[in-house]
Amino acid sequence: MGRFWYNIFVIFFEWGASLVSLWNPKARLWIRGRRNIFEKLRAEKSILPKRANTVWIHCASLGEFEQGRPVIETLKKTHPDTRIVLSFFSPSGYEIRKNYPGADMVCYLPSDRASNVRKFIDIIEPTLVLWVRYEFWNNYLQDLKRREIPVLLISALFRTQQLFFKPWGGFWRKTLQGFTHIFVQNEYSAELLEEIGINNVTIAGDTRFDRVSAIAESFEPLPEIAAFCAGHQVLVAGSTWTEDEEELTHYVRVHTQTRFIIAPHEVDEDNIKDVLKEFPGAVLYSDFITDMQRYNETAHTIIINNIGMLSRLYHYADIAYVGGGFGDDGLHNILEAAVYGKPVLFGPVHQKHYEALEMIETGGALCVKNALELENVLDRLWQHPEELQQRGEAAQRYVAFNRGATQKILDYIQRNRLCTS
């Protein structure tokens, strides 16, 4: 795709989002969030103290934000006089983190039209740019390169199926050349980039290991959940989709002595109603905390109907199940559970997630292909506590071994004096 056709695509994408916004709430947020964005940014910037350096961090959505967060927070500690601008492409990231206290400004990323690019960069005046994982906006990269503003891509992961590595992917290979330096998660990604002549690469690992470790180290108890779990074997199922819940429902219904905590990925009212139908007798977390004594006696399953608790919920599990492995949405973050020393189960659609493959290999995770296999694995682990413990310890060791990506990125920034305040 040449630059002309890329720009046509950007325009049609905007038009398509406007059309879909007539009936799709997420698309509506995407459109509304970008209305008058430049006026809003100018007004917001005008009331901020002046800073010598501005670091712009861009994330597609919430998952990428969690990968970038260790770098943001470490930069804030080591360079407290640096302004942090945080942008999101997706409403699911912006709407949840728009009040994130670690950033001076939080906004949507204006679409990648050349006119938008110039306005946005003129307003925020970045001295260093960090993009997280899967962001490759050509016009932004070309403009930043022209202005000689360093751009780092962090926690990147590459696969042979991507356009960069296709014979017709010349436009996208040129796009990659807009990055000053690329920090990849694994050696295979570095090898792929080397094959297409991209050598400004460091194998740093995944900053998510640092993030989940920081969460575990600063763990804040959930007394109501602790009371619910006390004296019982506990399964926490996190970030579940309908396909995951269908695999779990029979086991949950018949094992009434086990305590189950199910945290759906989508917590809108309609989806929560559907989840309650799948698990008769379950209680919503919001109801449970209003009458703990009653529900502790009558319910063995809690449905979490809020966002933000999941990383702490895994602490109370004996076994963790992580959703996304039975559908097209992709496996969610298994490291949040592994860091607490919990064996992790998930579905068969996980091949794009190297950490899932490695954790299976090291014994900290198990793939289950259907409901029957899930039930057999759960029964075996409950009946063999020594295996459960060994797998949990393997999961925890795996996370501990892979920490350190954040420091490698910060060392590069320091060594090259990219942030001097």
Q: How far is CA 338 from CA 359, 361, 381, in A?
A: 9, 14, 16
Q: CA-CA distance, 266 to 278, in Å (whole number)?
A: 15
Q: What backbone torsions phi and psi does residue 294 show, to the nearest 5 degrees?
A: -65, -50
Q: Give the pLDDT confidence of 335-357 residue by residue, as tens digits.
A: 999 999 999 999 999 988 889 99
pLDDT for residue 196 = 94
Answer whether residue 52 shows pLDDT above 90.
no
Token pair recorded at residue 244? 């995951």
Q: For all residues of the chain together, what is the average pLDDT?
A: 92
Q: CA-CA distance, 359 to 356, in Å (whole number)?
A: 5
Q: CA-CA distance, 356 to 350, in Å (whole number)?
A: 7
pLDDT for residue 421 = 62
pLDDT for residue 335 = 96
Q: Which of 136, 184, 177 is nearest to 157 (CA)?
A: 184
Q: Can you give the pTM of this predicted structure?
A: 0.87
State whether residue 394 is helix, strand or coil.
helix
Answer whether residue 148 shows pLDDT above 70.
yes
Q: Give the pLDDT confidence of 230-282 residue by residue, as tens digits.
A: 999 999 999 999 999 999 999 999 999 999 999 999 888 899 999 999 998 89
What CATH number has the domain spanning 220-401? 3.40.50.2000
Instruction: State what percent of residues in the chain have pLDDT above 90.
Output: 75
The predicted model gives 193-222 an average pLDDT of: 94
Q: How confident is the model at residue 327 (pLDDT cuts 50, 70, 90)?
A: confident
Q: CA-CA distance, 203 to 188, in Å (whole number)?
A: 9
Q: CA-CA distance, 312 to 218, in Å (whole number)?
A: 10
Token pair recorded at residue 270? 């309609």
Q: CA-CA distance, 39 to 298, in Å (whole number)?
A: 54
* For the chain, domain boundaries: 3-205+404-415, 220-401
Q: What backbone torsions phi and psi does residue 93 show, to the nearest 5 degrees?
A: -90, -50
Q: What is the second-level CATH architecture of the domain 3-205+404-415?
A: 3-Layer(aba) Sandwich (3.40)
Q: Can 3-205+404-415 and 220-401 be said to share one CATH topology?
A: yes
The predicted model gives 350-367 an average pLDDT of: 93
Neighbours of 291 (CB within 10 A): 11
| Residues forming beta bridges with residue 319, ordered by sequence position | 235
- The alpha carbon dihedral of 181, 162, 57, 100 has a sign of negative
